[in-house]
Chains A and B, each alone.
Chain A
Amino acid sequence: MTGGEAGSSSLRLGEQTTLKASAGRIWGMILRYWYVIRSSWPRTAELIYWPLVQMLMWGFLQSYLASATSFASKAAGLFIGAVLLWDILVRSQLGFAVAFLEDIWSRNLGHLMMSPLRPAELVAALMAVSFIKLMVAMVPVAFLAYFLFGFNVLSLGLAFAAFFANLVLTSWALGLVSTGVVLRWGLGAESFAWLIVFVFLPLCCVYYPVATLPAWLQPVSLALPPTYVFEGLRAIVLEGKFVAAFMLKAFGLNIIYFALGFAAFAYFLQSARKHGTLVQMGE
């Protein structure tokens, strides 16, 4: 090993290749994104705004339907549960992608990419930040859902933990693909990062069973992990049973999707280095 590969000839620097060093870089990036969240209360309010509006709209709609139809009265919590779970997927993916976009908007990407920060560390920090943003957005909304409509998301018990973990994994896979696309094609592809998750809204059958889809579309829906989460929610609310097989299928698919997402991110990063996009984005 040549001098300074692992350590440094500067007394100022610690070891560079240990797990502790890697954790230090990840923590540095988490702090970087946390400082942005903390610096602006309108941004924090924005995190809560859309989940709150959605929850109120579906909550009131469900209240109306419950008084008008026997199905909806039986299925109390179906829509509001679905919207809360859907927002976990959306907010977590946007939290991931927008954190990354912050570095492009602030013309900081060049500095980051030539720092010792490794791609996997950047991804780990983005995952952590998307989780923090998700908590900031969803915890107050979940409380309000309970106080306004009597829907306690925690009453789903362990099923909620399984739903949550699966949705967050899917959101990270989508976040990896969308940030990879922005890395490769620059801010011209920014809208992709904002919109990609919404393709899942009709396909994952958030508010209706998979059987509602035409037969040719059902295999597509069943290839998406969130479909099993929403089917699982309906099984709990309508039939009172937790279908573990749904969660296992979702988890298995998520492992594949996350691996593919990371491979896509790495491929697009390499492609951006070949095409010089990283330099153009920094200027």
Chain B
Amino acid sequence: MQKPISAACDKRPPPVQVVRLRKVYRDIVAVDGIDFTLAAGAVTALLGGNGAGKTTTIAMLMGLVIPTAGEARVFGADMARERHRVLHRMNFESPYVDVPMRLTVRQNLEVYGRLYGVRDLKAVVAATADDLRLTEFLDRPYGKLSAGQKTRVSLAKALLNEPELLLLDEPTASLDPDTADWVRAKLEHYCRRRRATVVLASHNMAEVERLADRVIMLEKGRVIADATPADLITRFGRSTLEEVFLAIARRRADEEKLP
């Protein structure tokens, strides 16, 4: 009997599977044996204070950092050993990583388009620039753009290959509220259209509430909460995710003060 399509799809490896993942830098435990699996099309936020292990986890998902123990698998590929099998299916955006300053926006998109093997590159660059309101800046050097314009270029680079997995590290940091809102709307639209899986690290709780289906809260490299934003708000008896975040952070701080 022929299997239904949904069952066949279930046999495919999940977009992200993290198993007992641990990273130790000398004597600092950055990530301490975390587990989670992300379903296709889910938007998951990694939350936590500075040093909670968000960036290290994302870096291990990209294969930029090799775990001390455990596995970070993307589309079934162990990112420590076989990341080149799947890198073309994912992309990354962060205000802390730039594209070359001296190159124009067009040149940057052309270079990254070639690295990702994008077909009909000229047309794709033009369409992406149009979609992200970058057409008038295409021939301007990236280094001469404002923070908001740079974020849009970074987003254009991240969407150029239509990734199935998008890793976002504080995508709207240092943006004015209007531009940040516009970026969130673009991300929402992309995720719906492409059914992309998104891992989002952010300190902006309003952003997380708006974009994320699921929140994984990290502290000292461990998962301390894993639920939907609404569940977390209910469980902690608060009215916003920001209040939940503050309550957890302060509770931990108080616990640390106890003898």
Contact = CB atoms under 8 A, between A and B. Distances in A.
A279 B99 contact: no
Interface stretch (A10-18, A47-55, A87-95): A10-18
A283 B141 CA distance: 20
A143 to B, nearest CB: 28
B65 interface: yes
Contacts of B157: 111
A117 interface: yes
Interface in A104-137: 106-118
Contacts of A21: 117
A111 B103 contact: no
B164 interface: yes
A117 B62 contact: no
Contacts of A275: 25
Interface stretch (B89-97, B212-220, B238-246): B89-97
B49 interface: no
Contact of A31 (B75, B94, B98, B107): B107
A16 B55 contact: no
Contacts of A12: 118-120, 124, 161-162
Interface string A1-36: 011110011111111100001001101110110011
A31 B13 contact: no
A102 interface: yes
B88 A116 contact: yes
Contacts of A252: none
A25 B63 contact: no
B115 A274 contact: no
A108 B99 contact: yes
B102 A35 contact: yes
A273 interface: yes
B100 A116 contact: no
A107 B87 CA distance: 20
A5 B86 contact: yes
B94 to A, nearest CB: 7
B162 A283 contact: no
B102 A278 contact: no
Contacts of B117: 8, 13-16, 21, 24-25, 116
Nearest to A274: B66
B126 interface: no
Interface of A: 2-5, 8-16, 21, 24-25, 27-29, 31-32, 35-36, 39-40, 102-103, 106-118, 270, 273-276, 278-279, 282-283
Interface of B: 12-13, 23, 25, 30, 55-56, 59, 62-66, 75-77, 80, 84-92, 94, 96-104, 107, 110-120, 124, 141, 157, 161-164
25 contacts: A2-B13, A2-B76, A2-B85, A4-B89, A16-B88, A25-B114, A27-B114, A28-B112, A28-B114, A29-B111, A31-B111, A32-B103, A35-B111, A36-B100, A36-B102, A36-B103, A39-B102, A110-B64, A112-B115, A114-B64, A115-B115, A116-B88, A276-B59, A278-B59, A279-B65
Closest 9 CB pairs of A and B: A28-B114, A110-B97, A10-B162, A107-B98, A114-B62, A32-B111, A115-B115, A282-B97, A283-B96
Given A13-B161, A115-B116, A276-B64, 12 more contacts: A2-B13, A2-B85, A8-B89, A12-B124, A15-B117, A29-B115, A32-B100, A106-B98, A110-B92, A116-B117, A276-B59, A278-B64
